[in-house]
Amino acid sequence: MTDAAIQRVAAKVRPKAPWQVWRDSAGRTSPLRIAALMFLCVPVAVAIYDFNTEGFGARPLNNVIHRTGYWALIFLMTSLAITPLRRIARFNLLVDVRRMIGVGAFIYAATHISLYVADQMFDLWKVVSEIALRLYLTIGFTALLGLTALAITSTDGMVRRLGGAHWQRLHQVVYVLGLLVLIHFFQQTKADVWLPTFIAGLFGWLMGYRFLIWRKTGRGELPTWQLAALAVGVAVLTFLAEAVGIGIAFKVSPLRVLETAFDFDPYSIRPGWLVFAAALVVVGLDFVRARLAKPRRAAPPATARPRSEPA
């Protein structure tokens, strides 16, 4: 091999600097990572556009606090969705941006609490007392501590230091953190629970999928009919949970709330229907990808293998 060829090979596998997040582990520019970075910058672009067109209202800092918290939740749910999507879409490269999006969720969550501290005029004693006395702040701060731990251990060096099995067990706490962030979001929105209910339904699907995978004895993806059954089950649970929640909040019968489920007002579609629609999109994706996947070639019998091939 010539010196020029050796230099080209070395350039392809040179280690990247820690701040070069748009490069993959081999140091190559990754279009998928660039797309993930652009996705993480969407909230900033939306905030700038909204500020220039309509402003942030009478309390601009409070507006930005709610925005950062909302996007922290969205990116956390997105990071949880990557594993099911990469399996169902048969697109394993998605795993390369999972940690990046998870760290993005932490950055928005850290900005969320930092802006809250600024809104309290940097009175740290008041901030600490508010976190200790207000349940929704206690839950949110607990979730932030968990996200901080996951962000600190998200580097390749920490994966090697902890070991793959220990690292994976540690990062499974993200499921609990997702639940805590959802509870915090519900408590923040108070009367209007449409959006939290929709996101909770999606979270329920993500957890239901993982439960079915855990119960699955063989390797491979879930059959399409199980994904369809999961879509129906999670949608029904979303309708029931919404009805019970509204019934408790407004002291009405949950049955009366359920009776409105089939009132298809284009301006107030029930979140259960949107959860069902999103789950059906995943079912359709699985159906198409399963039909397009090339069947694996059966391994030849042991007696027919060449002697150089291990048994």
How many C-alpha atoms does 11 have within 13 Å on its Cβ side? 7
Q: What is the pLDDT of residue 181?
A: 96
Which residue carries 């020029």 as its tokens?
4
Q: Which two tokens stand for residue 127?
A: 């901030």
- DSSP-derived letter for residue 28 is -
> What phi and psi, each to the nearest 5 degrees, are found at residue 23?
-105, 150
pLDDT bin (cut points 50, 70, 90) of residue 8 is very low
Q: What is the pLDDT of residue 17?
A: 65
pLDDT of 53 above 70: yes
Burial 126-165 (b: 16+ CB within 10 A, else e): ebeeebeeeeebebbbbbbebbeebbebbeeeebeeeeee
**For residue 236, what are the contacts with CB-CB under 8 A and spacing of at least 6?**
272
- The gap from C-alpha 167 to its chain's centroid, in whole angstroms, comes to 18
Q: What is the pLDDT of residue 178?
A: 96
- DSSP-derived letter for residue 265 is -
Which residue carries 């005029």 as its tokens?
121
Q: Which two tokens stand for residue 210?
A: 């993982």
pLDDT bin (cut points 50, 70, 90) of residue 27 is confident
Q: What is the pLDDT of residues 56-113, one digit of tens each?
A: 988 899 999 999 999 999 999 999 999 999 999 888 889 889 999 999 999 999 999 9
- Note the maximum CA span of the chain: 80
- Nearest CA among 97, 95, 78, 80 for reference residue 35: 97
- Nearest CA among 255, 259, 234 for reference residue 244: 255
Residues across the chain: 311
Q: What is the pLDDT of residue 177?
A: 96
pLDDT of 303 above 50: no
Q: What is the pLDDT of residue 294?
A: 60
Q: How far apart are CA 262 and CA 264, in angstroms?
A: 6
**For residue 273, what are the contacts with CB-CB under 8 A and spacing of at least 6?**
235, 261
Q: How far apart are CA 47 and CA 303, in angstroms?
A: 66
Distances (CA, A) of 89 to 77, 272, 283, 284: 18, 24, 10, 10
Q: What is the pLDDT of residues 102-131, one digit of tens each?
A: 999 999 999 999 999 999 999 999 999 999
Choose between 244 and 249: higher pLDDT.
244
Residues 1-22, mean pLDDT to the nearest whole number: 53
Q: Give the dihedral sign, CA 293/297/299/305.
A: negative
Distances (CA, A) of 80 to 77, 205, 236: 5, 11, 22
pLDDT of 304 above 80: no
Q: Which two tokens stand for residue 302?
A: 């042991």
Q: Which two tokens stand for residue 247?
A: 């019934």
CB 27 within 8 A of CB 12: yes
| Single pTM value for the model | 0.86
pLDDT bin (cut points 50, 70, 90) of residue 218 is low
Q: How far apart are CA 76 and CA 93, in angstroms?
A: 19
